[in-house]
């Protein structure tokens, strides 16, 4: 029997994660479906905004960021219970399979779901905006953005996933204190980067979100998660 990684065990653990947390995921979707129209309203989609594109960017960064961060911060919340934690780490699956399931949910499935929901709403609200104001605004992902800006957008997405990785490893390592420690770590990480940039040249806060340095937590956090889980495993 393969003790390192089994597709069958991975699929079983994936389905188990969904069945045990389906209510949380469904309420999260409801939260987004209700929150997106409110954000579009607050940021000017229903009125003649000076910069509709900026409004879209705000909507596409605030609520998705909150949702994805919360998912990472609460993914291992059930393990705060000693009984549930012992049961989870005694399941007949490998450490790599546990990490793969967490990575699949936090870094792939939920971000894709969030982007899909926001793309659908973006299409609807852009059509309404254009009809009300006789404008010709385009969807967030369907616009004439220079190739350099597209790279910045992609790196910014990776930054969100970096922060999510930090929230996830801290939720596993520190339990209920995880979110607070995550924020402290992220702030410290950004300050370190900005101080480094200030020492070598001009300093701009936005440089953090354009730098490959900002995606470093992704491989570091998920590698660390493997060893943390391996140590906890019964």
Q: What DSSP line would sit under 165-214, residue for residue?
A: HHHHHHHHHHGGGHHHHHHHHHHHHHHHHHHHHHHHS---GGGGGGSGGG
Q: Per the domain annotation, does 1 fall within a domain? A: no
Q: Per the domain annotation, does 2 fall within a domain? A: no
Q: Per the domain annotation, does 96 fall within a domain? A: yes
pLDDT in tens, the chain (234 residues): 467 888 899 999 999 888 888 887 888 788 777 877 776 666 655 444 555 555 666 666 666 677 777 778 888 877 777 777 777 888 888 889 999 999 999 889 888 888 788 778 778 777 777 777 676 666 665 555 555 455 656 666 777 888 889 889 988 888 888 888 888 888 887 777 777 666 666 555 555 555 666 778 889 999 999 998 888 775
Q: Per the domain annotation, does 88 fall within a domain? A: yes
Spatial CB neighbours of 3, under 8 Å, sequence gap ≥ 6: 94
State the DSSP string of 104-126. IIIIIIHHHHHHHHHHHHHHHHH
What one-character DSSP code corresponds to residue 138? -
How many residues appear in the chain? 234
Q: Per the domain annotation, does 21 fall within a domain? A: yes
Phi, psi for residue 189 in degrees, rounded to 5: -65, -45
Q: Per the domain annotation, does 208 fall within a domain? A: yes
CA 143 to chain centre: 23
| Environment class of 82 (CB within 10 Å of its CB; exposed 0-12, middle 13-18, buried 19+) | exposed
Spatial CB neighbours of 149, under 8 Å, sequence gap ≥ 6: none
Domain count, the chain: 1
Q: Per the domain annotation, does 178 fall within a domain? A: yes
pTM: predicted TM-score of the whole model, two decimal places: 0.77
Shortest CA distance to 93 belongs to which of 5, 218, 187? 5
Domain with 54, as residue range(s), is 7-232
Q: Per the domain annotation, does 91 fall within a domain? A: yes
């Amino acid at each position: 029997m393969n003790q390192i990684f089994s597709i069958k065990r991975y699929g079983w653990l994936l389905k188990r994660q969904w069945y045990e947390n389906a209510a949380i995921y469904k309420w999260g979707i409801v939260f987004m479906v209700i929150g997106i129209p409110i954000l579009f309203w607050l940021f000017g989609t229903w009125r003649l905004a000076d910069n509709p594109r900026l409004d879209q960017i705000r909507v596409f960064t605030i609520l998705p960021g909150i949702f994805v961060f919360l998912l990472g911060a609460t993914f291992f919340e059930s393990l705060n219970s000693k009984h549930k934690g012992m049961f989870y780490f005694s399941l007949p699956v490998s450490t790599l399979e546990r990490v793969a399931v967490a990575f699949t949910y936090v870094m792939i499935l939920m971000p894709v779901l969030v982007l899909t929901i926001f793309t659908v709403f973006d299409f609807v609200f852009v059509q309404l905006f254009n009809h009300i104001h006789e404008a010709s605004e385009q969807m967030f992902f369907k616009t004439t953005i220079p190739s350099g800006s597209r790279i910045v957008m992609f790196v910014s997405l990776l930054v969100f996933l970096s922060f999510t990785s930090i929230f996830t490893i801290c939720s596993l390592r520190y339990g209920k204190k995880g979110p607070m420690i995550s924020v402290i770590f992220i702030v410290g990480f950004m300050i370190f980067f900005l101080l480094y940039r200030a020492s070598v040249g001009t300093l701009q806060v936005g440089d953090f979100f354009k730098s490959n340095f900002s995606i470093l937590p992704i491989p570091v956090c998920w590698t660390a998660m493997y060893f943390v889980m391996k140590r906890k495993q019964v």
